[in-house]
Amino acid sequence: MAERKPITSWLTDMDGVLIHEGIPIPGADAFIKRLRDSGLPFLVLTNNSIYTARDLHARLQRMGLDVPVENIWTSALATAQFLDDQRPGGTAYVIGEAGLTTALHDIGYVLTDHDPDYVVLGETRTYSFEALTKAIRLINAGARFICTNPDETGPSAEGPLPATGSVAALITKATGKDPYFAGKPNPLMMRTGLNAIGAHSETSAMIGDRMDTDVLAGLEAGMQTFLVLTGLTTVADIDRYPFGPSHVVESIADLVDLVELPDQADQPTTGNRD
């Protein structure tokens, strides 16, 4: 295997890597602090499109994880960036929460159910049969079908919940139209995120707990990949896939020392002067 360049920027998934069901994973606070102390570009990513980056900043801060708003990248933001590149100033019928609708408003999109350019499906805990029926009819009438992410289930305290990918399958079955997924494992989400922080894939690393989204997305974007075992994937699961991560570690705590701090020689010295 060719020797990789030093890692000068970091991307990390959120659920299963930094937090689990609203509780920080041991070592997550030290990792985030180390990233901030290093001055290296970094992003915390999530396929969840429910919350805005500002919402997630506040939620993480309450858990003791101080992640600036500009260092949070969601599938909703990636979807908005994609649509802005494809059809600036377009229109969309949206099924989702504030994270998605805010992202689309911010790029100047008009949200409407009257002859929209796109039907955009995101995450919500209250999928409406009426809204899904409208989406199916609009897609059949010619609207393009976009989804924030392909995740089939999401976590909750009571157990797995159907997520965007499952609902997208229902719409596909009713329309015969497959959606375009903007979130992981689409490398588009990784590349737009890297562009947002001015980073390059060959010197970047992706940390995740899922082979089918995090590791695959990092691999296809040309990044080093770290699989942590604090989420959905076990060691036994890895061989089920025809690809593998660059590294497997127990948790985010094992990666703290890999984040390089500025050369101490370049730091100002303190102490008594003669």
Q: List, in sequence order, every beta strand (DSSP E) within 143-246.
A: 144-147, 153-154, 161-162, 180-181, 204-208, 224-228
Look at residues 66, 14, 20, 67 and name the one whose alpha carbon lies nearest to residue 45: 14
Give the Å distances, CA to CA, from 233 to 165, 176, 212, 213. 19, 32, 10, 11
Tell me: cis bond preceding 179? Omega within 30 of 0 counts. no
Q: Is the dihedral of CA 229, 234, 237, 238 positive or negative?
A: positive
Q: Which residues pair with 92 in a beta bridge?
A: 111, 118
CA dihedral defined by 21, 13, 62, 48, rounded to 10 degrees? -70
**Token pair of 167 as six digits:** 């609902």
Among all residues, which ones are annotated catalytic?
Answer: 13, 15
Q: Given the structure tokens 């649509």, which residue do they identify?
A: 83
Q: Tell me how far apart the alpha carbons of residues 30 and 52 are, in angstroms, rounded to a whole number.
A: 24
3-class DSSP state for residue 55?
Answer: helix
Q: Which of 154, 175, 169, 141 is nearest to 75 (CA)?
A: 154
Contact call for residues 43 and 74 (beta carbons, < 8 A)? no
Give the closest residue to 221 by CA, choosing from 213, 233, 231, 209: 213
